[in-house]
Structure 1
């Protein structure tokens, strides 16, 4: 029987790889270990850079002898290391959520068979030199990440093999090296048996994608270290525990050597400890010794995400002459994790994890994340009030954790284990996979165990359940027992320390908060509270942010805050996984699944981020920032300016935040003020009084009070003055009466009726309707045509991902039915038929036109009434009762493209929808039309603004020309405006497909149904955000063109129409 290759053999996870250990690099002195970065050590050499590279589609075609010294690679290409070879032009990326690539057999009896006819191989080669001062030392070769499996040779000799792509592979290469020039050769396989455990929802990319480097150690070497602490009952003093492993690589006995452990503060000052942290030892050759060294530390400064104070531990090795031969260091945070009363406590405080899932993704570099991008990501989390991240679904680059330590982000560190497409088969309890499961878990925990930011270890994602997970937990606890163990796939909650689910609705989450029978998975029976009553309830994935999404997000936070056992969750997810391209015209856009002709693929299901691939915020990010904020304000007596301030931070007072307030009248700010910082302790409440001057306030105006909390001083992640929290409150109108326009105002009207047009004209305007369709087809003002296509009723929206995602999840036989159901309102839009039109001139200065149209999904006709006044005001009233649930009720028209600028009073400045508007305050905002629309990776309904009082459009050609749209008393509006048509938006698959038309499309809406977001790409809109069948809907608005040189906007806003 032919022997299987290592990359197709579950029994082989590595050959000659060194045992896993903490991230470490030796330094020659304690001072260097304290002050220098890893890259600055004299015992570190980076092998990043350009390597010679060859790529083939199948193993049989690879250059088998390329590792030999006499093999000539001069004709080979150059490739950057680190990188993913698909993004350098070799093969194609594949994006798949659940489906395994075709190269991996799915037949149970064949697993883990790899298709040898398509398993691309990348062959890498380069030269390097070893410094003379490294002679007579040990030398190690370190790969931070290679996907998915690889062999390595030095100077023509095989060094080893490794798989498990998201954790380091390290090899001791001392015996393979020569003085002077050396050659390294690496052979990387795209697929391996390890790929069966790497079925994550992400781009399938290959290559040496993380750092490669050499480091040198003395023959007696600190091979690993681990530190943790335990506080006394008052969380004042702490016991510091360290475990240090020293190995002797020499041929002789190490006599009278000593290991020292020192603690330094953030300014590198040595902490005076009560005990000497030093141990003397003798160590036989080729052996290892473990030291357990502990000491009490008086009142250390604690680490938490709000105040991430870091000490530094230094481990120094001394020889028999008491000379330091090696020093290593790591950051250390004093923090203790416990589970008590169904809560996760950090330093004794119950924490709500306001989290996000993050894939390692860069739009240009793929999985080879630049360090600058990591910094940007962590800063964005801080800026948007995100306090926790789940490394979905694999260990991240080691530097990312250091950034989380420094900036203050709680981390759920997840094992590189997902078998989504085969999770009912593997790894389960199959002993064939035990070695791989344990290897992956061990390498993650050993590497990352010293990071204070890591609060939970996750055993993997969507990989089923079985005894292999029990073994993984046992192994983890042997290494580190101080953290919480998480695994969502443990539906009976036997192994996981927390009760974790994905995409539970607020209703289901609240069941657990109330300790009722509830579901642990969509497809499992409800479980009894006795199984979970002592375990914290967490959502490892929730609020699916694909495209235009994240509706009703605020409901989750209400539950987290109201039920102590509900400890938070992780939004899916942080950033759209689009791959950047630029057209010849300079338009930037992003590719997703299928754009590379990749099969299988899941389309744009990789674009679920609250941030675009280039890290610009999607509108959902601003909702997250508001809902996740840690300061809440509640009105006590608005008229008197009395408010209650809740400090929801766990550790810091509000004394570090400035407080500013503003009072707006009808959207315009008329009063501002400043309140000195309030020293309200964490988790405490106090009152403030805003000194509003009520003397000149009018009972008939609308007022909003907005209170901002901003940084008093700059931080590592934000400038001074950055607003971290705000709330806004409406002072209700006491007098709702308004100045009413007289019916007889303005010029006389002329009503002209012809077979093809019904026209109402005044002194400087005319409005024309089609007798055939009933639609307003012309609006002339001062001799200029304002509209490019008729004003028409609109029931449809270009589908958002949540509207149509259910089609992707449905069985094939259901798809046509679902498509018909979803698109029926589009057909209703097209098939409106006028059944009646009436018109009348009620007085010299007052005319009315009423249309009734049949809509095949309507329980009643749609009735639209146009009332036209001599002033040029046009009042539009729409009434309709749908027979089935509706998507939208509004009116749409195309305007002259010269309307390029607008001002509005309502929520903003960013996009909002009925179930996603918490993060948008009321105000008067001014934008260009192109700034209103939002470019999602895959174009869809976008740019809506909610709760609109009025909109004013301005021409950039005829600078005096304006168009005002105003809501009526009881009917706020929504609006959006685009440089393209809704048909263009629906047809486009990428931003580059959206044309710049010679008109702008204006939507004036009563409302749309919500956008949803509880479930992945399924628009599960909550009842209160639906547009329900059989309900009588009506709304109205008025509009008029005007010359801003002759009429003032304020005067036009100052009255209502008699029909309002």
Structure 2
């Protein structure tokens, strides 16, 4: 491959065919209607499988005879196609977010330029050699194609197809195909997306065996009339081959509905290479993401001959418009509850299988997601068929990003260069030509983070010329107008778009009187433990009419499955392969873990965007006021399952039919629970209502949960004495050296008289608490606390600068008071960092009561020039490994934090302690449970420790210390301790999404302020007393202390 082509934005490609819609031709109508994609067509010869492969250091190192038919490749290794060669053991993956991994000097690229050579053979019969096309759906890198030694041309645009007419270069029998792929080229400057740099033939490659006269392109516009019932079908067909006016060829259009009823719309005769068909179809069922009604359009040329060709396309009738400052589908404003999706698989890189694509789409639908932004390139063409079928709106994005130029001080360098206008427009035009037949595609995006310039305006103009039915999006224009303080009225794009906008700023933008809608093309950066604050964004979407939703960043962590030297698996990120420069774990930022299991963030997003919002609950009548947040469906598509339970068991429940509350309207549900609530006022009760699918769908079975509501009703307690449940015959107080020991028949507490803290707790011969119960203000920073390579956004840096990570406690006074069956310990101390003058003055009151109840009251007051916020306020100790069962009443079952807890409903839960850990790819703070009313930690005999307090608590149980989590960069670096760490917290700082966006909202920050906190410990033997009863007893006893 010559260097002049490597450094060209327009390498020659004489035999590359014009871009067309994605479809698979078939030789029979039955075969076409089977919708088996290319594997079901006899006109397709798939070339997937093992190819001969060798990786060279640069294009100059490639042998000149490598393209010859008789080249000896017997010594070459084999590689699977499709794949990325780095995932097959050649070269190494390289991750950067913004920075180009080579010097920025367009169009020049490094002379050391890994170049992969692929060789394979394919067999054609005498019947196959009519018209023969070779199609690549995606090759990462510039590539040159050779067939039987002939130079066919170049392919470029890594996530775009290239199709070549190789008819004149093939023959019956074996044919040799050679593909030479350069990792770096001038095209690389336009493909600087935030993802792994991976190379090679990563999507399908196949031979199309076409008749002499064939369907070259089929373009469909299936629009919905303003009456909402009439379909307006417009079809344009281009014919390949040579037609004769003397021998016209028949062309047939047939429309088939979802139950198989078909209607022949048109039979016509063709004598030239172009045909147009228009028709009005009465009483169509419209397509939306909520109602993905599809028809099949069958286009057949010469349908009754041996040389027939049939193309079947999914057609959805719908209308897209910008009107009244809103984006509307079929005349109805919608809210985009979307997600950004990169194509990634932990084992395969960007070579996704059909099963993975189906799983992604099904999981999105199961979690209430209704829209996908194909960040930042067109996805595999089959993905759009799935979005049509299952119902997802698609913001289709061009394969264009040159973010690295922002670091050079001239972000617009390429985007404002008129010599590159063709290169920009080409990438957009090829995407539109491929995807425009899809109902799911509702908007074209001109790319991502490429500055702003004349080439973007040229792209927008071209998009409207090719397809005037869809709006045009580009965030970079809105960003530039806001930076310059320019009037947004002058925007060229059809929507305003921003990313990582704070709730306050977004609200301000939404209040402006402007003619276009506003979306967040990226928000709620889902890196590590987070994002927090999703609820506030979604509520804003429903409060301000021009704010029409957004796309969470992003769908999946881009971890690559790797193994340690001793065979332990882990997920690798930037730098783990020796790739320099890199952006570390900034690529680990999805709602799914790399193995496609959900992270806590996905559950929280599902809850935030649920289609039923409970607005009000009247306990006296059992009436729940609900808002239907579907855009097109009535609420009778769901049923409601309700249950009323106390802390031990379910008291009542059932299934309720729902009224057909119209979309975006408010209705009522009457739950027959009012009488039971009134009868059991002496108990803590929880009413849970789950909204479930009435009927099965393609993506979920009947009774799949889509929304939920939980109401906690506190009890009116009766007086009780703990001795009623745990009578003891002795209560001894003994000083042993520097410890005060308090005993009864089976429970013991040890108090350190030097450090002023509880240092041990035992019960029935087992030591539960193994180390002093100490105040803790630090947490292992989350990715949002301490984002990689983004020090200016790091709240953890602020905390470290204030020494929060190195606080030590100094006791100034300890006073012990003994009276009958009560021991009081009053402790004064100060927590402060070395070298700084601020601190936290602490006052403790410990009360030890007969029967084993221990109350701890802590008052804190900050002094001096203290930090504005703190990571946490709580107590830390260690417990024996035998105590491995954790039960609690509060939010669960998953982890939760103050700004990420709505998905975790109040209830009673029980887990093994090790199950409370969340396996983030980059170790960090995890596993907290918030709004907890009581917690018990027991051994296999169900004996142990019970903890509660007047206000709800936070707790964590883990085998890892804060220091372990902070030090480790991968889970395999964590070593389980010989005990468990128990953290009981008064409060936590929120999560936010400051890894790339705003931090926690003010109401979710843990401000450094005076605090007062009370909690209680008690021994527990579950076979003698249930936690719910003990909770009632302890709560009542606290009133008299």
Pair in the same fold by TM > 0.5? yes
Partner of residue 870, structure 2 = 886
Deviations 1:547-599 (A, max 9, x none): 01111110111111111111100000111110113558875421111111111
CA root-mean-square deviation: 2.3
CA distance in 1, matches of 2:1000, 2:13: 49
Q: Are 2:127 and 1:133 aligned? A: yes
Contact 2:831/2:839 (CA < 8 Å) preserved in 1? no
Cα separation, partners in 2 of 1:586 and 1:305, compared to 1, 3 Å: farther
User: 526, 529, 547: which one pairs with 1:548?
Assistant: 529
Q: Are 2:112 and 1:112 aligned? A: no
- How do residues 718-757 of structure 1 correspond to structure 2 at under 5 angstroms? 718-731=700-713, 733=715, 735=716, 739=720, 746-757=728-739
Cα separation, partners in 2 of 1:909 and 1:819, compared to 1, 3 Å: closer
CA distance in 1, matches of 2:997, 2:524: 11
CA distance in 1, matches of 2:133, 2:815: 88
5+ residue gaps, structure 1: 284-288, 516-528
CA distance in 2, matches of 1:454, 1:652: 20
Contact 2:777/2:804 (CA < 8 Å) preserved in 1? no
TM-score normalised by L of structure 1 = 0.92
CA distance in 2, matches of 1:300, 1:88: 49
Contact 1:65/1:71 (CA < 8 Å) preserved in 2? yes
Please report how far the alpha carbon of residue 199 of structure 1 lies from its aligned counterpart in structure 2 after TM superposition.
Answer: 0.5
CA distance in 1, matches of 2:625, 2:1026: 40
User: 260, 265, 270: which one pairs with 2:262?
Assistant: 270
Partner of residue 484, structure 1 = 471
Deviations 1:50-81 (A, max 9, x none): 00000122222223321112211111111000
Q: Are 2:888 and 1:908 aligned? A: no
Partner of residue 484, structure 2 = none
Cα separation, partners in 2 of 1:911 and 1:623, compared to 1, 3 Å: same
Please report how far the alpha carbon of residue 972 of structure 1 lies from its aligned counterpart in structure 2 after TM superposition.
Answer: 1.1
Mean Cα displacement is larger for which, 831-840 or 73-82?
A: 831-840
Deviations 1:929-948 (A, max 9, x none): 11111011101000000110
CA distance in 2, matches of 1:590, 1:13: 40
Please report how far the alpha carbon of residue 398 of structure 1 lies from its aligned counterpart in structure 2 after TM superposition.
Answer: 0.4
Partner of residue 396, structure 2 = 413
Partner of residue 572, structure 1 = 553
Partner of residue 439, structure 2 = 452
Partner of residue 519, structure 1 = none
Deviations 1:620-667 (A, max 9, x none): 111111111111223252221011232221222222322211112246
Partner of residue 188, structure 1 = 181
Partner of residue 1016, structure 1 = 995
Q: Are 2:981 and 1:994 aligned? A: no
Partner of residue 599, structure 2 = 618
Cα separation, partners in 2 of 1:404 and 1:571, compared to 1, 3 Å: same
Partner of residue 301, structure 1 = 285
Please report how far the alpha carbon of residue 763 of structure 1 lies from its aligned counterpart in structure 2 after TM superposition.
Answer: 2.8
Q: Are 2:856 and 1:876 aligned? A: yes
Q: Are 2:330 and 1:350 aligned? A: no
User: 826, 831, 835: which one pairs with 2:812?
Assistant: 835
CA distance in 1, matches of 2:719, 2:368: 42
Q: Are 2:164 and 1:171 aligned? A: yes
Contact 1:410/1:454 (CA < 8 Å) preserved in 2? yes
TM-score normalised by L of structure 2 = 0.94
Contact 2:15/2:166 (CA < 8 Å) preserved in 1? no
Aligned partner of residue 855 in structure 1, secondary structure = strand
Deviations 1:101-160 (A, max 9, x none): 12xx31xxx4111111x210000001110133213x100000000011101111111111
Please report how far the alpha carbon of residue 1036 of structure 1 lies from its aligned counterpart in structure 2 after TM superposition.
Answer: 1.4
Q: Are 2:913 and 1:929 aligned? A: yes
CA distance in 2, matches of 1:207, 1:426: 28
Partner of residue 327, structure 1 = 310
Please report how far the alpha carbon of residue 326 of structure 1 lies from its aligned counterpart in structure 2 after TM superposition.
Answer: 1.6
Aligned partner of residue 772 in structure 2, secondary structure = strand
Contact 1:858/1:880 (CA < 8 Å) preserved in 2? no
Aligned partner of residue 406 in structure 1, secondary structure = helix
Please report how far the alpha carbon of residue 1049 of structure 1 lies from its aligned counterpart in structure 2 after TM superposition.
Answer: 3.3
Partner of residue 346, structure 2 = 363
Partner of residue 435, structure 1 = 422
User: 88, 110, 123: which one pairs with 2:117?
Assistant: 123
Cα separation, partners in 2 of 1:1047 and 1:325, compared to 1, 3 Å: closer
Q: Are 2:856 and 1:895 aligned? A: no
Contact 1:652/1:681 (CA < 8 Å) preserved in 2? yes
- How do residues 246-645 of structure 1 correspond to structure 2 at under 5 angstroms? 246-249=239-242, 255-271=247-263, 273=265, 277-283=266-272, 289-318=273-302, 325-423=308-406, 424-491=411-478, 492=481, 494-515=491-512, 533-582=514-563, 588-645=569-626
Contact 1:775/1:792 (CA < 8 Å) preserved in 2? yes
Aligned partner of residue 861 in structure 1, secondary structure = strand
Contact 1:855/1:862 (CA < 8 Å) preserved in 2? no
CA distance in 2, matches of 1:390, 1:182: 40
Partner of residue 654, structure 1 = 635
User: 231, 239, 250: which one pairs with 1:238?
Assistant: 231
Please report how far the alpha carbon of residue 706 of structure 1 lies from its aligned counterpart in structure 2 after TM superposition.
Answer: 1.4
Please report how far the alpha carbon of residue 851 of structure 1 lies from its aligned counterpart in structure 2 after TM superposition.
Answer: 4.4
Contact 1:851/1:865 (CA < 8 Å) preserved in 2? no
Contact 1:1011/1:1019 (CA < 8 Å) preserved in 2? no
Cα separation, partners in 2 of 1:1016 and 1:980, compared to 1, 3 Å: closer
5+ residue gaps, structure 2: 482-487
Partner of residue 90, structure 2 = 90
Contact 1:746/1:869 (CA < 8 Å) preserved in 2? no
CA distance in 2, matches of 1:3, 1:1044: 78
Contact 1:541/1:572 (CA < 8 Å) preserved in 2? yes
CA distance in 2, matches of 1:851, 1:898: 34
Contact 1:901/1:953 (CA < 8 Å) preserved in 2? yes
Contact 1:802/1:1019 (CA < 8 Å) preserved in 2? no
Q: What is the total number of aligned residue pairs between the two structures?
A: 1014
Contact 1:314/1:328 (CA < 8 Å) preserved in 2? yes
Contact 2:816/2:823 (CA < 8 Å) preserved in 1? no
User: 819, 826, 830: which one pairs with 1:853?
Assistant: 830
Q: Are 2:1005 and 1:1026 aligned? A: yes
Contact 1:941/1:985 (CA < 8 Å) preserved in 2? yes
Deviations 1:324-372 (A, max 9, x none): 6221121100111011111111111111000000000001101001111
Partner of residue 6, structure 1 = 5
Contact 2:620/2:674 (CA < 8 Å) preserved in 1? no
CA distance in 2, matches of 1:756, 1:249: 102
Contact 2:228/2:286 (CA < 8 Å) preserved in 1? no
Please report how far the alpha carbon of residue 827 of structure 1 lies from its aligned counterpart in structure 2 after TM superposition.
Answer: 4.8
CA distance in 2, matches of 1:825, 1:925: 38
CA distance in 1, matches of 2:718, 2:63: 85
Please report how far the alpha carbon of residue 747 of structure 1 lies from its aligned counterpart in structure 2 after TM superposition.
Answer: 5.0
Mean Cα displacement is larger for which, 451-460 or 58-67?
A: 58-67
Partner of residue 1015, structure 2 = 1037
